Amino acid sequence: MKICMIGTGYVGLVSGTCFAELGNHVICADINKKKIKKLNESIIPIYEPGLDELVKRNFKQGRLKFSSDIPSSIKYCDIIFICVGTPINKKTNNANLKYIFNVTHAIKNNLNKYKVIVNKSTVPVTTGDKIEKILNIKKNKNKFDVISNPEFLREGEAIRDFMYPDRVVVGTIAKKPNNIMKNLYLPLIKKKNRYFLTTRRAAELIKYASNAFLATKITYINEIANLCEKSNIDVKDIAIGMGLDERIGDRFLRAGPGYGGSCFPKDTRALVATANKFKVNLSIVKSVIKSNHSRYKLLVSRINKIMSNNLKNKKISFLGVTFKAGTDDMRETPALNIVKSLIKKGAIINYYDPSGKKDIFKSNKIKYFNNIKDACYKSDLLIIHTEWNEFKQLNFKKYVKKKNFKIFDMRNLYSPNKMNRSGVNYFGIGR
């Protein structure tokens, strides 16, 4: 199969590389010429464990190519995946579909033979209908099917998620593209047989409904954690006790600083906006958005309390600032609002993150260190913000070298009993 991924970001690059690994010929195309130039020099533009090696191997073996020539890439291939961004329009909260429709027009002008047009980007219900309408001109008759195939990979786990999917969702009522997709995904689905065929609109909604549900699960446990803090209960016990019920499940019940990233925040808002268009009130998702958005305020007031309401000139060290481990992505990370508020209250911030320095922090009150030891030295408070593996077994006293320092573990990586026994002032979330 000759496959073209249009949009070589997280989704296009990871899924394109994985399709190549499965033996297909793949062109990852992008209008960003710099990105394509780098990829042709084997420089990977994103931090994703395992991706570097996979890209280099498939590139070397000639199965994976990178191009900024979108028309030729479309003409050459049989399956065209649309993998461009669908960012939120900050004023309306609607998904901005201009990149999707730019690609659609490029496809419209280059349909030289039958192709399956697969939308992999996260898009509101009816976007597939609109793509089809644009493509449906006389000269393109019988030359295409537009289908939906949402992507469920997570940053930091992207390759494993793609290669071992819980499910592959395909939205189409036409036989031909379904057969082509089934064949394409066969190596991934034959073990578990989790290929779910549905309508195009349903596939589009499954993606948003899944992300919003996971965001709800996280927000729910975060609010239960607030209650645990007041009632002297460990939220970890609650998550285990709940999760043992298979109807609930134990995943995505880790209390923390709130969900961030490039997807949950934008997709929950876009889902509400879509529902509004259909005059449906998604009150649960609305309150999830509100609760998660204001979570940083709760955390800042907890930090204030931990520091006895005195943050002026206090040195606070962040271990991890990305929205989760395994990524360099800073989009909507809870750290941004927390750091801003602490600086306003007079604190001085040091940070270390395994994925490197972040340009997004502009204040001269925040300083990056390239190792844990220097970032923590003589700190008044350590905040474990992101659950990177290298933060899981630290001897904090050795690093901080200051009496009475405190730790606020926003990911509950350590045992409060062990910490207190070793004489460290330790605070977690919901415990």
If one asks whether residue 260 binds ligand UGA (CB under 6 A), the answer comes out as: yes
| Cα(37)–Cα(411) distance, integer angstroms | 39
Determine the interface stretch with ligand UGA among 21-29, 149-157, 189-197, 307-315 (rule: CB under 6 A).
Answer: 149-157
Query: What's the chain's length in residues?
Result: 431
Kindly tell me which residue out of 16, 128, 177, 261 binds ligand UGA, with binding defined by CB under 6 A.
261
Determine the interface stretch with ligand UGA among 100-108, 228-236, 256-264, 344-352 (rule: CB under 6 A).
Answer: 256-264
Q: Please state the closest distance from residue 201 (CB atom) to ligand NAD, in A.
A: 17
| Cα(180)–Cα(375) distance, integer angstroms | 53
Cβ neighbours of residue 324 under 8 Å, at least 6 residues apart?
Answer: 155, 156, 260, 261, 386, 387
Q: Which helix (H) or strand (E) holds 315?
A: strand 315-319
Whether residue 18 lies in the annotated active site:
no
Q: Please state the closest distance from residue 161 (CB atom) to ligand NAD, in A.
A: 9
Cβ atoms 296, 257 nearer than 8 A: yes
Closer to ligand NAD at the Cβ: 157 or 374?
157
Q: Please state the closest distance from residue 105 (CB atom) to ligand NAD, in A.
A: 9
Q: Please state the closest distance from residue 259 (CB atom) to ligand UGA, in A.
A: 4
Q: Segment 82-141, which members bind ligand UGA (CB under 6 A)?
A: 122
Cβ atoms 81, 4 nearer than 8 A: yes
Q: Please state the closest distance from residue 222 (CB atom) to ligand UGA, in A.
A: 7
If one asks whether residue 218 binds ligand UGA (CB under 6 A), the answer comes out as: yes
Lookup: tokens for 61: 């073996």
CB atoms inside a 10 Å sphere around CB 23:
10
Kindly tell me which residue out of 253, 336, 376, 394 binds ligand UGA, with binding defined by CB under 6 A.
253
Kindly tell me which residue out of 263, 272, 319, 347 binds ligand UGA, with binding defined by CB under 6 A.
263
Closer to ligand NAD at the Cβ: 88 or 376?
88
Determine the interface stretch with ligand UGA among 82-90, 251-259, 358-366, 414-422 (rule: CB under 6 A).
Answer: 251-259
If one asks whether residue 353 binds ligand UGA (CB under 6 A), the answer comes out as: no
| Cα(205)–Cα(280) distance, integer angstroms | 14
| Cα(304)–Cα(316) distance, integer angstroms | 12
Long-range contacts of 152-155 (CB under 8 A, 24+ apart): 152/207, 152/210, 153/10, 153/11, 153/14, 153/15, 155/10, 155/48, 155/261, 155/262, 155/324, 155/326, 155/327, 155/329
| Cα(89)–Cα(6) distance, integer angstroms | 22
Burial (Cβ within 10 Å: 0-12, 13-18, ≥19) of residue 313? exposed
Determine the interface stretch with ligand UGA among 109-117, 168-176, 247-255, 353-361 (rule: CB under 6 A).
Answer: 247-255
Contact positions vs ligand NAD (CB under 6 A): 6-12, 29-32, 35, 70, 83-86, 99, 102-103, 121-122, 151, 153, 155, 262-263
Question: Using CB under 6 A as the criterion, which residues of the chain lie in contact with ligand UGA when the complex forms?
Answer: 122, 151-155, 211, 214, 218, 252-254, 256, 259-261, 263-264, 323-324
Catalytic sites, residue numbers: 263
